Structures are given as C-alpha cells and as structure tokens.
C-alpha cells in the first residue's frame, strides 16, 4: 500500500486501491479506540489544521477538530462570520493570508461547488473537502463505507438503496462513487422531481417505488430533505413525502432482518425516518459518527503525514 495524494476533493477520482487504503488505516484507529476511546497519538505533532466551515456543521466539523487533536495537531477553527470576509476580503485573499501563517491542512465546507480546488490553488496545505454545495462530500462517503464494512457488508455482493432528496445531496453522489468502485449494486430511490434520470449514467439503477425495493436491499441509506437548497416545491406536502418515502416500522417489517439503516445526519425525525426506526436496533447512525472520526484521522495521517503504516 502506498499513498501519493495530497488533496481530497471527491471520490470520483479515487481509485479502488486508495479507498481501500483509507479504510484499512481507519480500521487501525477504530481498533485502538475500542480499547482506549480517547487515545491520542503524536504522529502529526507540530502540524497545523485549519477548519474553514462556511456552512453549518455539527458532526463533520467536530470530528475533524477531534481527529486533528488526537493526532497531536494544532487545530484552528476559522469563523467566517467573524472574519474579514465581512470587510469584502475575497476567499482567495483570505486563504493566502492564512497560508502565510504556515498551515499543513485545510478542511473546507462551502455552498459553492469547487471551493476546495480554489483553496488548494492558494495554499501549500493539504486540502480536504468537507462538503461543496450539492457536489461532493467524500469524507462522509468514506465513513459510510467503513461503517458498512464493519457491519459485515461484502461490497461485491451488496445492494444499497439510497433514498430521498438525491437531487440536492452531495452525500448521495460521493456514496455512489465509493460504493460502485468497491463493486456494490446501488439503487437510487425518490420522487421523480428529486431523482433526475441522468443519475443513471453513474452506473446505478433508479426506482421511484420505495416499497418495491425494500425487501431486496442490504442497506437502507436515507437522506435528509434539504429544504435550505430548495427554491420551489418538489412534493405536495411533507406528510405526503413521508407517506411515500419515509422509513417507518411498517416498511421495516418488509426489509431483510439483517438490513442496515443509515443516514448522514442531521435527521428530520418523522419525515425520512420515523423516530422508532432511527432509535431501533437496525440503525447504525451513531456508528457512522464514530467511524467518521477514524476516517478523518486516517485521511490526515495519509494526506499530511504522507505515510500508510505506522
Ligand atoms: N451532513 C450532510 C451534509 O453536509 C447531509 C445533510 O446535511 O443532509 O451534506
């Protein structure tokens, strides 16, 4: 195993080997967390990580901060709302200014597609995309793959249904690249207004009938309705959407007993996921969060440290 990548923009340009390397390294961190949950390492001692979140985040921002600290890094959280961006300084100038203070890693989330590439052009640091608009969320996809692998999913034999607001979901796009590269069959499910046919070109199936697909799949991956990205109505009412595409106990009764229920969070309880299913024994949403920390430690080790084995 070797590693030659400095930036993480999307899984679209990752090879299967690279994905497997991240998962292998992350599994090592998962193992050590089992015996010592808050164990710290000094592998990246003296290096600096800057978190730049221009969009809201709970899980991703906190886990990158913890990942950096557990590896011994100095972590700086850049607060865009309190910065000179408010005095009309451009993102490029802001990055160049911050870069002059010697950064080693920049984690960026922005509503504009392609912002991580703009940041990379203005810094010496390794840049990791923590979500760019509706485009990509590679670290979410990697943590989803790690969760599935840990729960016994054998990708070449697995069938994963990703259901909901596909149109606005950067998670769905990155998950499709990751899953298909590892050989899994993927079906995208949702109302036609939120599931354009052009997604078929990504090598997935498309299905508008959630009830039909439920008994066939090994993973029910549910997506949040992204109201903040909707400029018009995509379905008559939230109640109508939940009736057709929400995962509830009645639908769970038709699923394989071994099915995994997953969601990237935050969840609209009672819309895409009924509370009882979210809190039920087939839900792996909190495992996803734990795997997120291990995956982000692995990516910092690989992209900043540049080495695979310790
Ligand atoms: N947290 C994920 C994201 O940032 C999913 C979501 O917000 O629905 O894309």
Which pLDDT tens digits describe the chain residue by residue (310 residues)? Answer: 789 999 999 999 999 999 999 999 999 999 999 889 889 999 999 999 999 999 989 999 999 999 999 999 999 998 777 677 766 778 888 888 888 889 999 999 999 999 999 999 999 999 999 999 999 999 999 999 999 999 999 999 999 999 999 999 999 999 999 999 999 999 999 999 999 888 999 999 999 999 999 999 999 999 999 877 777 777 778 899 999 999 999 999 999 999 999 999 999 999 999 999 999 999 999 999 999 999 999 999 999 999 887 6
Give the separation between CA 169 and CA 158, rounded to whole angstroms: 22
What are the angstrom distances between the C-alpha of 45 and each of 8, 102, 120? 21, 14, 22
Residue 43 burial class via C-beta count within 10 angstroms: exposed 0-12, middle 13-18, buried 19 and up? middle
- Quote the ligand 1 centre to 101 CA distance (angstroms): 30
Which atom of ligand 1 has the smallest separation from the CA of 109? Answer: 4
167, 169, 229: residue to mutate for ligand 1 pocket, most atoms within 8 A of CB: 169
Q: In which residue are the tokens 């799949």 written?
A: 217
Nearest CA owner, ligand 1 atom 2: 264
- Quote the ligand 1 centre to 172 CA distance (angstroms): 10
Separation of CA 99 from chain center:
26
Q: What is the pLDDT of residue 80?
A: 74
- Quote the ligand 1 centre to 264 CA distance (angstroms): 6
Separation of CA 6 from chain center:
19
Do strands 159-163 and 185-189 pair parallel, antiparallel, or not at all (unpaired)?
parallel
140, 171, 194, 227: residue to mutate for ligand 1 pocket, most atoms within 8 A of CB: 171
Which atom of ligand 1 has the smallest separation from the CA of 264? Answer: 5
Q: What is the pLDDT of residue 92?
A: 82
219-222 sheet: strands from edge to edge = 205-207, 185-189, 159-163, 219-222, 260-262
Beta carbons within 10 angstroms of residue 251's beta carbon: 17
Phi (first) and psi of residue 51, to 5 degrees: -90, 120
**Straight-line distance from the first to the last Cα atom of the chain, in angstroms, rounded to the nearest whole number:** 12
The string of DSSP codes covering the chain is -------B--GGG--HHHHHHHHHHHHHHHHHHHH-TT----TTTT-EEEEEESS--SHHHHHHHHHHHHTT-EEEEE-GGGSGGGGT--HHHHHHHHHTT--SEEEEEESSTTHHHHHHTT-SSEEEEEEETTTB-HHHHHHHHHHHHHTT--GGG-EEEEES--TT-HHHHHHHHHHHHTT-EEEEES-GGGS-GGGGGGT-EEES-HHHHGGG-SEEEE----GGG-SS-SSS-HHHHHHHH-B-HHHHTTS-TTPEEE--S---BTTTB-HHHHTSTTB-HHHHHHHHHHHHHHHHIIIII--S--
Q: What is the pLDDT of residue 258?
A: 98
CB of 292 shorter than 6 A to ligand 1: no
Which atom of ligand 1 has the smallest separation from the CA of 60? Answer: 1
pTM: 0.95
- Quote the ligand 1 centre to 241 CA distance (angstroms): 19
- Quote the ligand 1 centre to 168 CA distance (angstroms): 10
Which atom of ligand 1 has the smallest separation from the CA of 171? Answer: 9
CB of 171 shorter than 6 A to ligand 1: yes
Nearest CA owner, ligand 1 atom 8: 224
Q: What is the pLDDT of residue 198?
A: 87
Give the separation between CA 310 and CA 298, rounded to whole angstroms: 11
Q: What is the pLDDT of residue 205?
A: 97
61, 62, 144, 224: residue to mutate for ligand 1 pocket, most atoms within 8 A of CB: 224
CB of 264 shorter than 6 A to ligand 1: yes
The string of DSSP codes covering 198-245 is GGGGGT-EEES-HHHHGGG-SEEEE----GGG-SS-SSS-HHHHHHHH
């Amino acid at each position: 195993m070797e590693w030659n990548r400095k930036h993480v923009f999307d899984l679209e340009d990752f090879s299967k080997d690279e994905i497997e390397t991240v998962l292998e390294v992350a599994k090592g961190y998962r193992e050590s967390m089992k015996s010592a949950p808050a164990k710290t390492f000094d592998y990246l001692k003296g290096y600096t990580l800057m978190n730049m979140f221009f969009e809201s985040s709970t899980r991703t921002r906190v886990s990158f901060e913890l990942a950096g600290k557990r590896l011994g890094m100095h972590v700086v959280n850049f607060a865009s709302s309190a910065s000179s961006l408010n005095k009309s300084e451009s993102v490029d100038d802001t990055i160049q200014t911050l870069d002059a203070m010697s950064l080693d890693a920049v984690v960026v989330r922005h509503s504009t597609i392609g912002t991580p590439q703009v940041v990379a052009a203005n810094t010496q640091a390794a840049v990791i995309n923590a979500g760019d608009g509706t485009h990509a969320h590679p670290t979410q996809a990697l943590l989803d793959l790690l969760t599935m692998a840990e729960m016994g999913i054998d990708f070449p034999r697995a069938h994963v249904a990703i259901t909901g607001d596909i149109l606005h979901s950067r998670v769905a796009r990155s998950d499709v690249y990751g899953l298909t590269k590892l050989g899994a069959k993927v079906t995208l499910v949702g109302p036609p207004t939120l599931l354009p046919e052009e997604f078929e070109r990504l090598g997935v199936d498309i299905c508008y009938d959630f009830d039909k697909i439920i008994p066939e799949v090994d993973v029910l991956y549910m997506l949040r309705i992204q109201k903040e990205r909707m400029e018009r109505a995509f379905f008559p009412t939230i109640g109508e959407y939940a009736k057709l595409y929400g995962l509830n106990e009645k639908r769970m009764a038709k699923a394989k007993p071994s099915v995994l229920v997953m969601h990237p969070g935050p969840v609209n309880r009672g819309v895409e996921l009924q509370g009882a299913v979210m809190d039920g024994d087939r839900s792996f949403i909190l495992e996803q969060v734990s795997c997120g920390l291990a995956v982000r430690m692995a990516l910092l080790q690989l992209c900043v440290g540049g080495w695979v084995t310790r």
